[in-house]
């Protein structure tokens, strides 16, 4: 993550954090006239740094996720916004009979095959590109989103979740994996991320508890 946080466009935004604190508005968009996703899309080198950082971030947490949640009942896992596929590769490696689908933007998916092949699971995983605001792959009995929902404001998060709901079978499960701020604020890293998300993303809430429990209910209504 150091390559991302140390980028000039990130630390210059932190210099305007007070704007976000005072107004609740996105400091990055105020400075640049566009959201961070469009900014990176226009700068492939910055987008590549971000994609690599997310892959490394997934590497550190994949084993913890697999240890904390039992995926063994599922036959087909769809990883929505799964980046280059490290999280899904770890799940498929742990469950040799499982099939998977990796879904993300075209530019991200382009770098996924090498990751899946390196883990020996490329033959059990299809790669699909598109926008999760519109639709996601059908046919899964589990839909996984790791550190995705916190990037978006409530309306956008609900749109993503509704797209998942339309694709899901009645018995399918939605697995949201997010950092949260514990009630007593024990973990400083989550508080740092909360401020980071206030200043930079499209409008996400950052690490939280209440929004993550309410949003799936709103999306199913």
**Max Cα-Cα span within the chain:** 52
Q: Which of 76, 95, 150, 196 is catalytic?
A: 150
DSSP letters, 25-42, are S-HHHHHHSS-HHHHHHT
Quote the CA–CA distance of 84 and 127 in Å, as a whole number: 10
**Is 196 an annotated catalytic residue?**
no
Q: The tokens of 38 are what?
A: 């469009």
User: 155 exposed, middle or buried (CB, 10 Å; 0-12, 13-18, 19+)?
Assistant: exposed
Q: Report the candidate in 71, 81, 119 with the shortest Cα–Cα distance to residue 103.
A: 81
CB 185 within 8 A of CB 212: no
CB 78 within 8 A of CB 103: yes
Quote the CA–CA distance of 51 and 107 in Å, as a whole number: 10
In Å, what is the CA distance from 168 to each residue of 10, 75, 86, 157? 36, 14, 23, 17
In Å, what is the CA distance from 181 to each residue of 44, 98, 162, 204? 32, 33, 25, 14
The residues assigned a catalytic role are: 150
């Amino acid at each position: 993550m150091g390559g991302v946080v140390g980028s000039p466009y990130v630390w210059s935004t932190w210099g305007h954090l007070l704007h976000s604190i005072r107004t609740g508005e996105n400091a990055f968009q105020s400075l640049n006239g566009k959201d961070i996703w469009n900014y990176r899309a226009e700068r492939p080198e910055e987008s590549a740094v971000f994609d690599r950082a997310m892959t490394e971030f997934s590497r550190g947490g994949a084993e913890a996720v697999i240890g904390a949640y039992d995926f063994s009942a599922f036959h087909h896992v769809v990883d929505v916004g799964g980046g280059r596929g490290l999280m899904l590769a770890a799940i498929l490696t742990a469950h040799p009979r499982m099939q998977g689908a990796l879904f993300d933007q075209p530019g991200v998916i382009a770098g996924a095959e090498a990751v899946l092949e390196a883990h020996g699971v490329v033959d059990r995983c299809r790669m699909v590109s598109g926008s999760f605001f519109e639709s996601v792959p059908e046919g899964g009995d589990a839909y996984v989103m790791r550190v995705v929902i916190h990037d978006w404001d409530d309306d956008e998060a609900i749109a993503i979740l509704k797209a998942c709901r339309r694709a899901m079978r009645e018995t399918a499960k939605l697995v949201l994996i997010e950092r949260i701020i514990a009630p007593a604020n024990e973990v400083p890293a989550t508080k740092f991320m909360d401020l980071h998300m206030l200043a930079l993303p499209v409008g996400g809430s950052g690490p939280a508890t209440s929004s993550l429990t309410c949003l799936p209910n709103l999306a199913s209504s």
